[in-house]
Amino acid sequence: MTINIENEYGKAFDFDTDKLIESVILKALDYAGCPYEACVNVLITDDDSIHEINKEYRQIDRPTDVLSFPMAEYDVAGNFDFLEGDDAFDCFDPESGEFILGDIILSGDRIISQAEEYGHSIKREMAFLVAHSMFHLFGYDHMTEEEAADMERMQESVLKELGITRKEENYD
């Protein structure tokens, strides 16, 4: 398992961001039943940088809280069976053999402002956005109400297992 975390945000958080991110990623992988050792890249940046990335890759000219760039195209969200075929060769790192799950880009500015807006901790907001992004990396989306409800349920389940809820935040 490889989790690469790069923090170019420039401002310190009052908790161990690497530990939090790694815990959420591992719990999400377990929840999804990913049968492979995986590789995930995470970048923590600011609103200006995520705005540029959003504009370049999604043609959306504004900052956002999180961007997810899955490396695989799922036939069915959360179903890893397609990786057994010959077409899935590009989904694996030739050196490590790990499934290259994808990239997560977080805006530290948005994490802080949304935590305040939603009335919970910065740690909880970061954990939520990482969980949210992980389900995008598993092929899930929230284009319909049903899809959004499914993603919300899965995200909350992962956070609850880690003890990171809106009411209780007893995660270390």
pLDDT score at 87: 67
More confident residue, 7 or 169: 7
Name the CATH topology of 2-161. Collagenase (Catalytic Domain) (3.40.390)
In tens, the pLDDT along 80-97 reads 998 887 767 788 999 999
pLDDT band at residue 172 using 50, 70 and 90 as cut-offs = very low
Per-domain boundaries in the chain: 2-161
pLDDT band at residue 165 using 50, 70 and 90 as cut-offs = confident
The residue-averaged pLDDT of 8-30 equals 96
In tens, the pLDDT along 121-160 reads 999 999 999 999 999 999 999 989 999 999 999 999 999 9
Q: Which of 47-51, 90-94, 105-109 has the lowest mean pLDDT?
A: 90-94
The residue-averaged pLDDT of 62-82 equals 94
Cα separation, 76 vs 66, in Å, equals 23
